[in-house]
Amino acid sequence: MSDDDYYSEIASNNSKNGEESFAKKKFGMQKAELDEQLREYIAEWKKQRAKEEEELEKLLEKQAKRKLIRAEQEKKLAAKTREEEEKVRKVAAERKALEEEQKKKALEEAESKRQENFDAEKEKVRMKQGARALAARRITKTEEQLEKEMKMSLGIRIRPLDLDDMDSNDLRSKATQLWETILSLETDKYDFEQRQINQEYELKQLKERQHFQLRNKAMKKGLDPEAFTGKYPPKIRMFSKYERRTDTRTYRDRKTLYEGGWDVMRAEYLQNIWTEKYDEWSRRQKTRLVKWFGERPGKKVGDPETPEGEEEGAAGFTIEKEEFEEEDEGNQDGSIEGKAASPEKHQC
């Protein structure tokens, strides 16, 4: 190691030691400042905490006061609602008691009326039984006893006249009085007889009208005309013994059904089928036949020319006519030649 290296190493060591001492002094100063700042922060935090605790105590006191006030208000509200419910309950109880009292009065009145009606019916029955017993006694009595009782009752009702004590004027006045009495009685008798005749005629008309209305009602419902006019109500007519439903057809419908109704239904069915088939045939695709040698098939010498529109129908008619004639010939002959001739004609 040379001297220069040695001195340079010593110098470097001295510089390092100086820097370390300076750094230590600086770090000690910063630590003191930090401690001071920390103390100030702690003191400030304590003050802030004391203030917050004080505010929290105030809030807790305020909350407790509010709880007390709310409890008092709830007590008052509960008492008020209890009073209102009690009031409503009392009103309902009074109304119920009033209704029960009214029902009780109505039941008592109905019971009293029922008892009165029962007593009246009982009295009527007793009177009827008495009248029947009297009639039975009369029936058991003989004619002599009945005549004797009738004379006794007439003697009580009609007093005998003292003709010996009357003069001519008294007799005349008594005769006129008896004549007027007889005349009034005969008049009343005639009036009652005519009234009876009129009532019988009106009853007869009412019965006829009722009979006519019942007949119409039965015919509207599809029943027999005399269904409602009998003694008992009409039987329920079922549609058939296999279907459990009432018959809603009228009497006229059933009558026409059994009087050739099936023929009419069959004719209508066939008519509907014919119309459907005819519509299908009319909607078919029509094809024009080919002209052979510039003439229509089946045209005779001297016939006029066929217009374009009528050519289709005429051609179809002639072809169908020829086919029908060929079929007739085949049926009549029944020979092999006839059968072979039909395709030859078609080929021509």
Written as one string, the DSSP assignment of 58-98 is: HHHHHHHHHHHHHHHHHHHHHHHHHHHHHHHHHHHHHHHHH
Give the pLDDT confidence of 109-128 residue by residue, as tens digits.
888 888 888 888 888 888 88
What are the residues whose beta carbons fall under 8 Å from the beta carbon of 342, sequence distance 6 or more? Answer: 326, 327, 329, 330
- The tens digit of pLDDT for each residue in 242-259 reads 777 777 777 787 777 777
Q: Extract the tokens encoding 154.
A: 């007439």
Q: Of the ranges 40-49, 92-101, 164-173, which one carries the lowest mean pLDDT score?
A: 164-173
If pLDDT is split at 50, 70 and 90, which confidence band does 56 have?
very high
In this structure, the number of other CB atoms found within 10 A of the CB of residue 17 comes to 10
Give dist(CA 334, CA 308) in Å, integer: 40
- What's phi and psi for 158, nearest 5 deg? -100, 115
pLDDT over 90 for what percent of the chain? Answer: 29
Query: Identity (one letter) of the amino acid at 127?
Result: M
The CA distance from 154 to 262, in Å, is 79
Rounded Cα–Cα distance for residues 304 and 323 (Å): 24
CA 141/CA 149 separation, integer angstroms: 10
The residues near 166 (Cβ < 8 Å, ≥ 6 apart) are 174
> Poorest-confidence range of 20-29, 70-79, 129-138, 184-193?
20-29
- What distance in Å separates the CA atoms of residue 321 and residue 314, rounded to the nearest whole number? 11
Largest CA distance in the chain: 215
Which candidate, 337, 297, 301, places its Cα nearest to that of 321?
A: 297
pLDDT-derived band at 179, boundaries 50, 70, 90: very high
Q: Which two tokens stand for residue 67?
A: 């709880």
In three-state secondary structure terms, 305 is: coil
The span from the CA of 235 to the CA of 221, in Å, is 12
Q: Cβ distance 220 to 202 under 8 Å? A: no
User: What are residue 292's DSSP bridge partners?
Assistant: 295
Checking if the pLDDT of 218 tops 50, the result is yes
Residue 348 has pLDDT above 60, yes or no: no
Q: What pLDDT score was predicted for residue 211?
A: 92
Higher pLDDT, 313 or 28: 28
pLDDT value of residue 277:
94
* Inter-residue contact 83 to 76 (CB < 8 Å): no
Mean pLDDT of the chain: 77
Stronger pLDDT, 76 or 234, i.e. the higher one = 76
Question: E strand or H helix at 194, and its extent?
Answer: helix 168-220
pLDDT value for 132: 76
Spatial separation of the C-alpha atoms in residues 329 and 342, rounded to whole Å: 9
Burial of 262 (0-12, 13-18, 19+ CB in 10 A): exposed
> What is the rounded average pLDDT of the residues 129-135?
75
* Spacing of C-alpha 228 from chain mean position: 28
Calculate mean pLDDT across residues 144-158: 81
User: Taking 50 as the threshold, does the pLDDT of residue 338 lie above it?
Assistant: no
Q: What is the pLDDT of residues 5-22, one digit of tens each?
A: 665 666 566 566 656 665
pLDDT band at 321 (very low <50, low <70, confident <90, very high): very low
Predicted pLDDT at 148:
86
What is the reported pLDDT for 192?
Answer: 95
User: Tell me: the pLDDT tens digits for 266-313?
Assistant: 889 999 999 999 999 988 877 665 655 556 666 677 777 665 544 444
**Per-residue pLDDT at 27 exceeds 50:** yes
Region of 21 please: left (phi>0), alpha (psi -120 to 50) or beta.
alpha
How far apart CA 178 and CA 175 sit, in angstroms, is 5
